[in-house]
Structure 1
Amino acid sequence: MLSNYDALLVVSFGGPEGPDEVMPFLENVLRGKNVPRERMLEVAEHYQHFGGVSPINEQNRQLIAAVEQDFAANGVDLPIYWGNRNWHPLLADTLQKMKEDGVKRALAFFTSAFSSYSGCRQYREDIARAQDEVGESAPQIDKLRVFFNHPGFIEPMVELTQQAITGIPDNERDRTKLLFTAHSIPLGMAEGCKYERQLREASKLVAERVGFADWQLVYQSRSGPPTQPWLEPDVNDVVRQLHNEGGVDAVVVVPIGFISDHMEVLFDLDTEVQQLSDELGVRLVRVPTVGTHPRFVTMIRELVMERTTPGSERVALGDFGPSHDVCPVDCCQYTPRRPPTAGGT
């Protein structure tokens, strides 16, 4: 059945790789969105804090190299392409290259483990626009399922979380809180998808396997205007609250909503939350993301093989079962809610 597909396409967000790329990149990200310019300039400073370079592109290169090596070792003969939503290599350019290379039909791996408009449907819309731009004979793209409860995602997160907990002194272990964090999204977006439920399930699966009952799901990286409700609570608010209540000595932060240590992890967690924790005198331990963990890399091959091998098992942990292969027409819809104008309309 692999003969039905000519390639694997890795689809991601993209990021700047130099100071001069930061503002054009952010303008791409925020085009058509009701985000104050002050917020865009604030985020631009986050990137400049790291020399104007987001690590996400290099992390995707490393992931692709690891998957290519795994494919070669296991007889999977599929070339891997890579296209981004917001920065080079852009999806339209990648699909044009695929067309020139004779690719007719490809599987797509989205670098998001969870279902939401921005993490799934919007990428599918991006692909459709890229196909329109490429025109006749643009390759057909079939998305692989989301993997929030796949053993290849959960097992590495369990291993990494357990290692982090082990590093906490015994006299602090009973006063340690486990915080699972993910990118916040507008409530209007959350209401149209299974993002929250999938995050809670993934967090529960990890917490159960590390034997940690005291855990909470929190959010980070909010970017919308104050008038627009987003998923809460914010990780910084929770760390401060835990300190004020006097119930914790240490906090273990598990970035369950991310698969690599890109800007939202490096700045929002390793910089902002770390600074707050230092001010409060709370020990902060941040768990790594799955990155190129061998089990995660193997999972990508397993997702490919289950779609190309009749009768193969579609594995999943917990009570949810494996997600669908073909997204329903109404899946992960989102219509942004505009704040009232001065005239009240």
Structure 2
Amino acid sequence: MPEQRATSPYDALLLLSFGGPEGPDDVVPFLENVTRGRGIPKERLKEVGRHYFLFGGVSPINEQNRALLGALRKDFAEHGLDLPVYWGNRNWTPCLTDTLREMTRDGRRRIAVLATSAYASYSGCRQYRENLADALAALVEEGLEPPRVDKLRHYFNHPGFVRPMVDSVLTSLADLPEEVRAGARLAFTTHSVPVAAADTSGPVEDHGDGGAYVAQHLDVARLIADAVREETGVEHPWQLVYQSRSGAPHIPWLEPDICDHLEAVYGDGAPAVVMVPIGFVSDHMEVLYDLDTEATAKAAELGLPVRRSATVGADERFVGAVRDLLLERAATERGRAAERCALGALGPSHDVCPVGCCPARTPRPAAAGADSPYS
């Protein structure tokens, strides 16, 4: 295989995602998996799961991962990459441990992992690494020799992730009535997390004042806003806002919430808003409910025209970015120089999470990092 298409030392790619229910009977068991160890009563989980029940108990995330899985396999074949692609979830079928067991029995010994989370945070990175460590430990208990897993770097500022979002914002702006289009605000949204978790996201040197989590989102928002201005000649005011808070009221989380933001900009005289879910790879439940349902209803109540731009999903440019990330990491592991594509001010992220990166509240083993028990 030509050097530029060589995937060695990797013999498989694992698409690792969150998972979601695929029917009403799945909702509570799924939420039990998500909240395991927190002692949340089943009746409370039923209340929490009402968002899923509004959509027939089906999260769109699994179907979207199937589409991404198919697109990756097709892209790899078209570009001469002879590498199988598997799929595993943290919280629902296909479960991560089952997938890693299958991969091990298929003889896969060195696995590259793509997590469907583009940014640094405990829930978006280290928790995936903890789940990998748990799965590998389960294989050891079964008497299997665990494979080595390497998580591909954060891709929030890869052009294949950013450019599809730019185009989606342009499409949403064009869909607004002409009389409000030029004055429309851009609300870049991402999942809110506890302030303490944000402040300790990324490597230790990035901790404080929102950590890497906020800095990375701000960099992406700025990239998109600047590209929209260059394309349209119009400067659209923008702000990073948050959604999907789920914690106890007394614990500080990142703000403002998207619905509060819509009220604020309406009060300031904004004629329209485009909501841009930069924190999400695909249109899963937080996007469908918190933006398309709840925030859109708030905008209608205010009489404020809104549009919601699309996430990258299985866009061919994002699929190409995954291929780039894989080949880049493979070349690095072989000791070869590799082009590391990144836009914006922050540059490409680290390949291996250092000690102290996105620490857990309670220390747990995490794979694919400098402190990994598996190497």
Residues 183, 236 of structure 2: 8 Å contact kept: no
Q: Which residue of structure 2 lines up, in the alignment, with residue 291 of structure 1?
A: 313
Task: Measure, in 1, the Cα distance between the counterparts of 2:8 and 2:199.
Answer: 39
The DSSP-based 3-state class of the residue aligned with 1:3 is coil
The one-character-per-residue Cα deviations of 1:250-285 (angstroms, maximum 9, x if unpaired) are: 110000000100000001100001111111111110
1:320 to 346, 349, 352: 346
Residues 188, 334 of structure 1: 8 Å contact kept: no
Per the TM alignment, residue 294 of structure 1 is displaced from its structure 2 partner at its CA by 0.9
Is 1:272 matched up with 2:280? no
The letter of the residue matching 2:213 is Y
Q: Which residue of structure 2 lines up, in the alignment, with residue 18 of structure 1?
A: 23
The DSSP-based 3-state class of the residue aligned with 1:307 is helix
List alignment gaps of at least 5 residues for structure 2. Answer: 1-5, 202-211, 230-234, 363-375
Mapping 1:172-191, distance limit 5 Å: 172-191=180-199
Task: Measure, in 2, the Cα distance between the counterparts of 1:35 and 1:284.
Answer: 36
The DSSP-based 3-state class of the residue aligned with 1:199 is helix
Per the TM alignment, residue 39 of structure 1 is displaced from its structure 2 partner at its CA by 6.1
% identical aligned pairs: 54
The DSSP-based 3-state class of the residue aligned with 1:252 is strand
Residues 219, 232 of structure 1: 8 Å contact kept: yes
The letter of the residue matching 1:201 is D
Is 1:49 matched up with 2:75? no
Mapping 1:110-125, distance limit 5 Å: 110-125=115-130
The DSSP-based 3-state class of the residue aligned with 2:8 is helix
Q: Which residue of structure 2 lines up, in the alignment, with residue 196 of structure 1?
A: 214
Q: Which residue of structure 2 lines up, in the alignment, with residue 262 of structure 1?
A: 284
RMSD: 1.5
Per the TM alignment, residue 22 of structure 1 is displaced from its structure 2 partner at its CA by 0.1
Residues 178, 254 of structure 1: 8 Å contact kept: yes
The letter of the residue matching 2:340 is R
Task: Measure, in 2, the Cα distance between the counterparts of 1:232 and 1:200.
Answer: 14
Is 1:76 matched up with 2:81? yes
Mark the CA change 1:4 to 1:47 in structure 2 (over 3 Å): closer, same or farther: same
Per the TM alignment, residue 36 of structure 1 is displaced from its structure 2 partner at its CA by 8.3
The letter of the residue matching 2:255 is E
Residues 241, 256 of structure 2: 8 Å contact kept: yes
Task: Measure, in 1, the Cα distance between the counterparts of 2:28 and 2:73.
Answer: 33
State TM-score, norm by structure 2. 0.87
List alignment gaps of at least 5 residues for structure 1. Answer: 337-345
Per the TM alignment, residue 92 of structure 1 is displaced from its structure 2 partner at its CA by 0.6
The one-character-per-residue Cα deviations of 1:36-91 (angstroms, maximum 9, x if unpaired) are: 87763333110000000001011001001001000000001110111111111111
Per the TM alignment, residue 175 of structure 1 is displaced from its structure 2 partner at its CA by 2.7
Task: Measure, in 1, the Cα distance between the counterparts of 2:195 and 2:137.
Answer: 31
Q: Which residue of structure 2 lines up, in the alignment, with residue 155 of structure 1?
A: 163
The DSSP-based 3-state class of the residue aligned with 2:112 is strand
2:105 to 100, 104, 119: 100
Per the TM alignment, residue 35 of structure 1 is displaced from its structure 2 partner at its CA by 6.8
Q: Which residue of structure 1 lines up, in the alignment, with residue 206 of structure 2?
A: none
Q: Which residue of structure 1 lines up, in the alignment, with residue 366 of structure 2?
A: none
Task: Measure, in 2, the Cα distance between the counterparts of 1:126 and 1:169.
Answer: 46
Mark the CA change 1:137 to 1:74 in structure 2 (over 3 Å): closer, same or farther: same
Is 1:301 matched up with 2:323? yes
Worse overlay, 11-20 or 133-142:
133-142
Per the TM alignment, residue 32 of structure 1 is displaced from its structure 2 partner at its CA by 2.8
Q: Which residue of structure 2 lines up, in the alignment, with residue 138 of structure 1?
A: 146
Task: Measure, in 2, the Cα distance between the counterparts of 1:205 and 1:213.
Answer: 13
Task: Measure, in 2, the Cα distance between the counterparts of 1:149 and 1:37.
Answer: 40
Task: Measure, in 2, the Cα distance between the counterparts of 1:208 and 1:86.
Answer: 37
State TM-score, norm by structure 1. 0.94
2:257 to 226, 234, 241: 234
Mapping 1:32-43, distance limit 5 Å: 32-33=37-38, 40-43=45-48
1:333 to 359, 362, 370: 359
